[in-house]
Structure 1
Amino acid sequence: MIIPTRDEGEVLETCIRSMVALASNPDQINYLVLDNRSQERVTQEVFDRLAKIANITVVRVDEPFNWSRLNNVGASHAEGDILAFVNNDIEMQSQNWDSELRAALSDPSVGAVGARLLYPDGTLQHVGIVLGAVGGRPIHEGRGAPATDDGLLGRWFSQREASAVTGAFLAVRAGTFAEINGFEERLSIAYNDLDFCFRVRAAGLRVLYHPQIEATHYESKTRGLALTSEKIAWDDEEFLQLFRIWGEACQIDPYVSPCWSFAAERILPEPRPISLKEIEQALSGDPLMENHRRKISARSIAASKGRARGHDRKRPPRRIDATTAP
């Protein structure tokens, strides 16, 4: 478990204690805490208390806050075959969450797993990310809905593929993380989780929303919410950066029907007019995964042709002994 933090010791303690208490195999979990310039004395006291109940390592990172950079540093220090990136303001609610997570990532077709997150008042905060839904921007599906609401066609309680999941709780195999080169450090605060999930899909792997892993998210306790004009401008710039990298893929969601309409963060069953382009996009499947499949197919064909040519070149010339030839 890789957890960036800056002070907020009690928040971090709640996070780790909840995961330890509800894990099926707590002794097999290592907690790597990235201390990003904490100053409060109580923070060290929390580290000392947590060391008595969990396998905890604290790595101090004396750099300006950069979520992607911090988690890449954490991954470089981590051991084990699964990396879970967790905000310090998460409180786990699901029993045996670690077994659920390991089972999900045992499927080689799954590249990343995200959780069902609730606000402290019990309403939904995240049941997957939907692209291009409102004003062309990504949204947390279900935000603010009652926790008992199962969403359209029961999708909020169903384990399913999503275009992306939030980095507040995001797990991946260590091998996959290395293969796609970790988090994009140019996206220091926002949309780094989307970029990561896009690269998971571009590698031909699935992003999975897992509702059996549920946690309360006190949301941005360390950094604060993006409500000031400065933070909103920063958020807008990072979305533009994401768009420069991925283009239309930021706004095309292959896991949402083009017939569905949206009201804020809710999918509505009422049909809406759709264009021929939207129909073609829906029929083509996940564009990022399809690009991967085409590349793999092209490489296979090229390799096959290369082997065939190589076989012809390496075949020794046929020698005929003039004395025995007919």
Structure 2
Amino acid sequence: MKYEFEDNLSRISSLDKFTKFEYTNNSRLEGLSVVILNLDKPEFILPLVQILVESKKHFRENKLELEILIGDTGSKDPYVLEMYKNAEIKVINGLKYQFSKNNNEVAFAHSKCKWILFMNNDIIFENSRLLFDLYNYAKDSENLGIVGHVLLFQNQSIQHRGIEFLRINHGRDFLPYHIDGGKKEVVCPKEKDFPATTGAFLMIESNLFKMVNGFNERYEKEAQDIDLCLKIKRMGYDIKVLNLAKVYHFENGTRVKGEESTFDRALFVRLWSSFIESSISQ
């Protein structure tokens, strides 16, 4: 597979556009901010918000905050708009979809908590204690940078249980891939180290997210979550994938199936292949 790489002028131009992000709310609260991007899809977002609101009780009982932040990119569905009136959530309207930019804007301008969970709108889980258990695991762990979770398809096969890297271009470069994707009857440990986890369900301490300047907005469609994990990994922190409950991900529920970006993959290869070769690959 051949990729077109940027020339030096393009790289310099992109550096001129570099923005240093700061939180609007610098005094961070003990608890978890959940950040979700959404466009209609009532079949996904309505049950997700319902379980998230139910999850708040576990945080409140322990004098902790669980805030639900939804970045909307133009919803018109009446059921979704009605749900947005729920006082238990905060909706940020007027976004034009771009994964990195939208998540950065919602997180830096609106989140208030010491931990942030970036979650796709096509995630569902039944255990309302899950986020509370994840939060407690994260805050009590030493040297933890990012925590993810095993994700299943509706048919119980594996959608995500960790990300490794595949050699390409005759072994010179690397691209990420989901291990055991689509397989059934895979025994997933309760806790395991990985080089990266998916941005569909990714939890990070807000100070660390700030230190690495959030998601890289140069990525157009993909690889920004893996890029974030590797920035954290390069700083010496651990990336963990947990398996505490059944969590389902209806992949491509809000993204065109098969949508790929050769630009993003070329950018990822240029930025990270040397680091993966020297620090991660076996």
TM-score over 0.5 (shorter chain): yes
Q: Is 1:13 paired with 2:46?
A: yes
CA shift in 2, pair 1:42/1:252, >3 Å: farther
CA shift in 2, pair 1:253/1:220, >3 Å: farther
The CA distance in 1 between the partners of 2:175 and 2:51, in whole Å, is 33
Of 62, 67, 73, 1:30 maps to 67
The Cα of 1:62 is off from its aligned counterpart by 3.2
Could you say which structure has the higher helix fraction? 1
The Cα of 1:94 is off from its aligned counterpart by 3.8
Q: Which residue of 2 aligns with 1:140?
A: 178
Q: Is 1:99 paired with 2:125?
A: no
Spell out, residue by residue over 1:4-26, the C-alpha distance to the aligned partner (whole angstroms, 9 max, x if none).
Answer: 00111231111122334456615
The Cα of 1:37 is off from its aligned counterpart by 1.6
The CA distance in 2 between the partners of 1:193 and 1:210, in whole Å, is 17
The CA distance in 2 between the partners of 1:82 and 1:62, in whole Å, is 23
Q: Which residue of 2 aligns with 1:57?
A: 90
- Normalised to the residue count of structure 2, the TM-score between the two structures is 0.78
Alpha-carbon RMSD across the aligned residues, in angstroms, is 2.2
The Cα of 1:69 is off from its aligned counterpart by 0.7
Partners of 2:118 and 2:203 within 8 A in 1: yes
The Cα of 1:174 is off from its aligned counterpart by 0.8
Give 1 or 2 for the bigger CA radius of gyration.
1
Count of residues in Structure 1 that have an aligned counterpart in Structure 2: 239
Q: Which has the higher contact order (CA 8 A, sep 6+)?
A: 2
Instruction: Structure 2 unaligned segments of length 5 or more: list them.
Output: 1-33
Equivalent residue letter for 2:76:
Q
The CA distance in 2 between the partners of 1:116 and 1:62, in whole Å, is 29
Spell out, residue by residue over 1:250-276, the C-alpha distance to the aligned partner (whole angstroms, 9 max, x if none).
Answer: 56773xxxxxxxxxxxxxxxxxxxxxx
Partners of 1:115 and 1:169 within 8 A in 2: yes
Identity of paired residues, percent?
23
The Cα of 1:219 is off from its aligned counterpart by 1.1
- Deviation beyond 4 Å, 4+ runs, structure 1: 133-136, 250-253
Q: Which residue of 1 aligns with 2:3?
A: none
Partners of 2:95 and 2:102 within 8 A in 1: no
Q: Is 1:249 paired with 2:275?
A: yes
Partners of 2:52 and 2:68 within 8 A in 1: no
The CA distance in 2 between the partners of 1:138 and 1:93, in whole Å, is 29
The Cα of 1:71 is off from its aligned counterpart by 0.5
The CA distance in 2 between the partners of 1:116 and 1:178, in whole Å, is 25
CA shift in 2, pair 1:26/1:103, >3 Å: closer
Q: Is 1:109 paired with 2:150?
A: no
Partners of 1:124 and 1:142 within 8 A in 2: yes
